[in-house]
Amino acid sequence: MTLDRSWGLVAVIGTAILAASLIDPGIAGPAGEGPLGGLAVTTWLHVLGYTALTAALLGAVGDRRFGIVVAPVVAIAVGAGIELLQWPLAWRTASVADATVNAIAAITMTAVWPACRRVRGAVGDGKDADATGDAAGKTGDD
């Protein structure tokens, strides 16, 4: 993936999260229990959205050392910022619980990212991946 396409994916996911977070939730109908029970559908959507955003950010920053720290911080900041944007909207409710779920999703994705990279490196291009998930012979400039 080129740098431009990687950041484009970040922009698309971020825009989708923003749009879904600011529209009137009544247009989607009532939210029920999620697929595994216990948690509401909206909680699962937060988990999915911020896991995807963090993965896209991690992919966009590539092998830069700071990326593993910056990506989840940016995802958490986006989540907190969106919750603040919801605060004045009559049809939305800003929620510390939602921001916490967003942060947990971002941190969890960051924690499993090295394993995802190893699997992608081993399966995706047929090259062995080292302990950081970098495929052998890659420069990190891809």
Q: What is the mean pLDDT of the chain?
A: 82
10: helix, strand or coil: helix
Residue 130 lies in a domain: no
Residue 36 lies in a domain: no
Q: Quick check: is 54 in a domain? A: yes
pLDDT tens readout for residues 66-108:
889 999 999 999 999 999 999 999 888 899 999 999 999 999 9
Is residue 47 in a domain? yes
Total structural domains in the chain? 1
0.85 exceeded by the pTM? no
Q: Which of 98, 106, 37 is nearest to 68 (CA)?
A: 106
Residue 119 falls inside a structural domain: yes
Q: Map 43-83 to HEC letters.
A: HHHHHHHHHHHHHHHHHHHCCCCCHHHHHHHHHHHHHHHHH
The parent domain of residue 99 ranges over: 3-22+42-124
